Amino acid sequence: MKTSVCIIGGGPSGLLLSQLLHLKGINTVILERQSREYVLGRIRAGVLEHGFAELMREAQCGERMDREGEIHEGFFIAHDGTQTRVDLHKYSGGSSVVVYGQTELTRDLYEARDRMKGVVIHNAEDVQLHDLKSGSPWVTYRNGDDIVRIDCDFVIGADGFHGVSRKSIPRDVLQEHEKAYPFGWLGVLSRTKPVSPELIYARHERGFALCSLRSQTLSRYYIQVPLSDSVEDWTDDRFWAELKRRLPADVAARLITGPSIEKSIAPLRSFVAEPMRYGNLFLAGDAAHIVPPTGARGLNSAASDIYYLYHALMAHYQSGDDSGLDGYSAKALARVWKAQRFSWWMTTMLHTFPDSTSYEQRLQQTELDYLFSSDKAMGSLAENYVGLPF
Ligand code: RFL
Ligand code: PHB
């Protein structure tokens, strides 16, 4: 098989790039390790920044997002038994975010790829990358007993944190920067009316909690849990009782509970691999960097990588201009590190750290006091949350 751009990974990053390139007449093949059902069964991000939404529209995949997604102009931070609103619209100079689930967005991208007869190969086992430093790299995967070879101009590693692409870069070339947090998030999806029309990020001595949503009939809640906990430790009743304890009394009193339809634990981690290019392999999204979900930056950071790669590949194929490809890693990383900083800051401000000293706890409290007393601090939070420019 031969294609121009071979994309490893059929998550949102890979699908979006494939769709954008297709619309410019550039051929791609996507290799995805899992079945489509499996990919669409994962419950992940819920908040999209304006730039991501624009990219979905450019990819001709924004119709359902614009119809069913909700525009949010603010969110709440609950603390000390009360809640304070962060007015994103006011403090970011008129911007907002879109609440639309990653699952739905991925479904829209798959449907668009099918409509345009894009090549997406599922259950591609044992993907391997070859001759990445040459002008004609190639990729192999196993289909039953057969090894299939794909020749291409470029390989895009959009295969998430556990993918094969980053691992194909020699150890002495790649630098990895990592911070693990001593807790995870237990997430529950339930077919209940959300407790609040806007998200609530709750700081509490028992641990962080988040009230989010997918629609006015589908709620998504998270609580901070120790890394040693497993999903089996948390019955629905125990989850709801703990969530209520961490919310202001009036919010807890309004909370409508119901059976969970999904429950999972995600460890919190910050990670960056650099450079994001090796020969003709380009890393994008979670394959190169991950953040704790507190600032809702993960998928949105993937979107800026895709934006830069899309424009760089377009310039290469349309006018032989390789400056975008040459500058990709540095440009992408500059924005990635800002998202890292913001996610680390939100996480540090809002979570309970098991071994923190009284000094650190007072600083954490002061961070919130300062935030709520300063328009400039609120402005900084808002401009990062709605997304820095691409
Ligand atoms: P993905 O989604 O992990 O997709 C990678 C795909 O590659 C496949 N793959 C392979 N394919 C072929 N060969 C191999 N060897 C392969 N290895 C892996 C995988 O099966 C998969 O289909 O990466 P991508 O596309 O870069 O997308 C990144 C986002 O998924 C991620 O950043 C976000 O979900 C993070 N995130 C959030 N981001 C936001 O911007 N806003 C949010 O509100 C938000 N909330 C969240 C989140 C992540 C969470 N979890 C579970 C980590 C909430 C949570 C709880
Ligand atoms: C979600 O709805 O899953 C969500 C929302 C905001 C975050 C993280 C996750 O910061």
The pLDDT value given to residue 227: 96
CA-wise closest residue to 296 among 94, 15, 100: 100
What pLDDT is attached to residue 43? 87
CATH architecture of 5-72+97-178+269-348: 3-Layer(bba) Sandwich (3.50)
Q: Where in the chain is the domain with CATH 3.50.50.60?
A: 5-72+97-178+269-348
Instruction: Give me ligand 2 centre to Cα 220, in Å.
Output: 8
Q: Which atom of ligand 2 is nearest to the CA of 346?
A: 10
Does the C-beta of 296 come closer than 6 Å to ligand 1?
Answer: yes
CA–CA distance, 25 with 11 (Å, rounded to integer): 21
Q: What is the pLDDT of residue 45?
A: 87
**How far is it, in rounded angstroms, from Cα 98 to Cα 343?**
18
Rounded distance from Cα 293 to ligand 2 centre (Å): 6
Rounded Cα gap, residues 222 and 207, in angstroms = 11
Beta strand ranges found along the chain (DSSP E) = 5-8, 28-31, 47-49, 70-72, 74-79, 82-87, 97-99, 119-121, 125-130, 138-143, 146-151, 154-157, 175-190, 200-202, 209-215, 218-225, 260-274, 277-278, 281-283, 289-290
Q: Helix (H, G, I), strand (E, B), or coil: what is residue 273?
A: strand
Decide whether any atom of ligand 2 lies within 6 Å of the 168 Cβ. no
* pTM: predicted TM-score of the whole model, two decimal places: 0.96
> Probe ligand 2: pick from 70, 222, 263, 344, max atoms within 8 Å of CB?
222
Delimiting residues of CATH 3.30.9.10 domain(s) in the chain = 182-268+353-386
CATH annotation of 182-268+353-386: 3.30.9.10
CA of 371: how far to CAs of 84, 251, 357, in Å?
A: 10, 22, 21
pLDDT at residue 65 in the model: 97
Taking the chain (390 residues) in runs of 10, the rounded mean pLDDT of each run is 98 98 98 96 91 96 96 98 97 96 96 97 98 97 96 98 98 97 97 98 98 95 98 98 98 98 96 98 98 96 97 98 98 98 98 96 97 98 96
Q: What residue's CA is closest to ligand 1, atom 48?
A: 44
